[in-house]
A = this chain, B = another copy of it.
Amino acid sequence: MDESGSLDRPDGDGAPVHRTVRIQDVAKLADVSTATVSRALASPEKVSPEARARVLEAIAKTGYVPNPAARSLRSQKTYMVLVVLPDLSNTFFSKILRGVEERLFEAGYGMIISDLDGSPEKEAHFAAFTSAGRVDGAILLNGHLFGQTRDGEGTAVKIGIPLVALCEAIPSADIPQIEIDNRAAASRMTQHLASLGHRSIAYVSGPAHNILEKERFLGYQDGLKAAGLSFDPALVLPGDYTIESGVRAGQDLVARAKRPTAVFCTSDEMAIGLMRTLLSAGLRVPDDISVAGFDDIEFAAVAEPALTTIRQPRRELGRAAASVLIDLLQGRPSPKRIRLETELVIRDSVAPPQNIEKAPAKSTRRSAMKPT
C-alpha cells in the first residue's frame, strides 16, 4: 500500500521517528555493536554493566522493540503457543483459556487459538501451521493428536514441538497430561447421592468415545459399588455435554413411568437443560428428583435451583498446562502428569429422596415455590 517509506525519517535528534527502530540504531546510539545489544537483552550476564546500562538507555530513548520475525527466523523460536480446542464458545473452555493466557503472558509467550469446530480441514491446516514452525509448542484440549482419532487410530502427524494434553488426556501419546481425576470425582458425586438415600441414580453420559466420559462412567460405577448399589443400564442416558442433550435426557425421564430419584449429569450444561425440562413438565427439583452436575460453571450457582456439582479448578488447570509447556520449551524437566483436586459443591438441586424426607438442609431451597 504505502511504499513511500523513508520519507518520514528525520535525521535530526531522532526521537519521534516513525520508521521502525532497528537494533543497529540502538547500537549506534549506545556506541556498541549490534551483537552487544542483542546480548544485553538475551543474556545480560555476558555484557559489562556499563555497556548494558548504555544499551538500556538507548533502548529507552529510541523505544526499540526487537522485530519478532527476524528474531524468530534466526533463532527458530517464535514465543508463540498454539492452543487447540474443539469449541471456543463453550463456557467451560473459556475460563481455562484465561488461565493459560495468564501464565503464558507472564512467561513472555503469546497465545494463538485454534477452534477446530469439528472440521478436519481446519485440523489439517493447524497441523501444517504447527509443523511450519509458527509456534514453539501447543496445548491440546481436544483429546487427540493431529491426524488421529480420539481412540488413537490413524497415524499422528509428526509434530516437532513440545505438546501438552489438557483436560482430555491422550493415553496413546507420550506427552504430559494435565487433568483432574475424573473417575474419583464421579465416584464421589455418586456416593454423595447414595449417602443421601438415593438407590436409583441415573447417569447422563458424555459423548461415547470421549475419555472424560469413559473415566466418569467408571467413576459412576465405582460409586454405585461403593454404596452397595447395583448398576442398571436402563439408568444410563446418552448425552454429549450440551444443553440440548440435557433437555433430551430430561424428556426421556419425564416420559418414564418409573423414574430414578436422582440424576447425575456429567456436565453442568446438561444438568441445567435437564432441570429445565423437568420443571417444565411439572416435576420438582430436588423434591421429586435430585439433579447433580459436573464442572461448576458460572451459571451453576444461579440455576434454579442452584446446582450441586463438582468444581474443576479451571483457571489453575490452564495455568498448570501452560507452566508445564513452558518448562518443556525452556528445556527444564517437567512432570509427566498433573492431577488437580476437584471439590464437591453442595447446593440446592440435590436432596434426600422424598420417602425419607427430612428437614431440608440448605438455605433458600425452592422457597420460590412456596411463598411462606
Residues in chain A within 8 A of chain B (CB atoms): 1, 18, 20, 65-70, 72-73, 78, 80, 88-91, 93-95, 97-98, 101-102, 105, 110-115, 117, 122, 125, 128-129, 131-134, 160, 243, 247, 272-273, 275-276, 278-284, 298-299, 301-304, 306, 331, 364, 367-372
Contacts and interface: CB of A to CB of B under 8 A. Distances in A.
A128 B302 contact: no
A111 B110 CA distance: 11
A301 B110 CA distance: 36
Q: Which of A20, A160, A276 has the most CB of B within 10 A?
A: A276
Contacts of A370: 282
A299 B282 contact: no
Given A98-B89, A279-B368, A73 B65 contact: no
Nearest to A306: B276
A368 B69 contact: no
A275 B306 CA distance: 12
A105 B125 contact: yes
A220 to B, nearest CB: 24
Given A94-B90, A299-B299, A368 B282 contact: yes
Contacts of A73: 67, 69-70, 73
B94 A132 contact: no
Given A89-B98, A276-B304, A279-B304, 6 more contacts: A70-B73, A101-B115, A110-B134, A111-B112, A276-B302, A281-B367
Contacts of A112: 80, 110-113
Given A88-B98, A113-B101, A304-B275, A66 B282 contact: no
A95 B98 CA distance: 15
